[in-house]
């Protein structure tokens, strides 16, 4: 009786670990857990491709750090009055300064 309970527990733990491994293998690579969480939660990939995964209606952001500095990316997130194209992007004015920092540092360092 005790023995079969142990086997049962081992099976449950084993399948949970396998599941966790499968889930993490199919997720895109994350340089910074919290920044990538923001990217997902805010739906940036709905329009932008990042590290080979996401939409193609806007530029691929993987290389954005070769075009813009961290400060420029941060500024762009809260105000992008520039091109007509960029007007289809939301202005993320409800993000905290810390969130803006995380996002812009993350994107800048992808290059
Ligand atoms: C509804 C579509 C859409 C969403 C969602 C969106 N963007 Fe954009 N974004 C654009 C468009 C359009 C542009 C301007 C033209 C382009 O880059 O193709 C742009 C431009 C940018 C740029 C400047 C790129 C450059 O090379 O100059 C950055 C940085 C950026 N977006 C970051 C983000 C981040 C971070 C998110 C999520 C918080 C996001 N975008 C969500 C459409 C979107």
CATH number at residue 70: 1.10.760.10
What residues flank ligand 1, with Cβ below 6 Å?
42-44, 46-48, 58-59, 61, 64, 67-68, 73, 76-77, 85-86, 88-89, 92, 103, 107
Residue 54 located in a structural domain? yes
Question: Looking at the chain, how many residues does it have?
Answer: 111
The per-type count for the chain, helices as H runs and strands as E runs, is 4, 2
Question: Between 71 and 28, whose confidence is greater?
Answer: 71
Percent of the chain topping pLDDT 90: 56
Residue 56 located in a structural domain? yes
- Mean pLDDT to the nearest integer, 40-67: 96
- 12-50 residue pLDDT tens: 666 665 555 555 544 554 445 589 999 999 999 999 999
Residue 79 located in a structural domain? yes
Residue 93 located in a structural domain? yes
Going from the C-alpha of 16 to that of each of 8, 41, 56, the distances in angstroms are 12, 25, 35
Average pLDDT over all residues of the chain: 82
What is the distance in A from the centroid of ligand 1 to the CA of 89?
Answer: 6
Residue 25 located in a structural domain? no
What is the distance in A from the centroid of ligand 1 to the CA of 60?
Answer: 9
Report field, pTM of the whole predicted structure over 0.85 = no
Residue 12 located in a structural domain? no
Residue 14 located in a structural domain? no
């Amino acid at each position: 009786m005790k023995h079969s309970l142990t086997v049962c527990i081992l099976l449950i733990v084993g399948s949970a670990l396998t599941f966790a491994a499968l889930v993490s293998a199919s997720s895109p690579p994350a340089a910074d857990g919290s920044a990538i969480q923001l990217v997902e939660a805010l739906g940036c990939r709905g329009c932008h491709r990042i590290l080979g995964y996401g939409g193609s209606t806007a530029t691929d952001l993987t290389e954005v750090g070769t075009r813009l500095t961290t400060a420029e990316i941060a500024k762009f997130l809260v105000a992008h009055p520039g091109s007509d194209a960029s007007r289809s992007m939301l202005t993320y004015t409800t993000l905290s300064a810390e969130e803006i920092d995380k996002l812009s540092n993350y994107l800048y360092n992808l290059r």
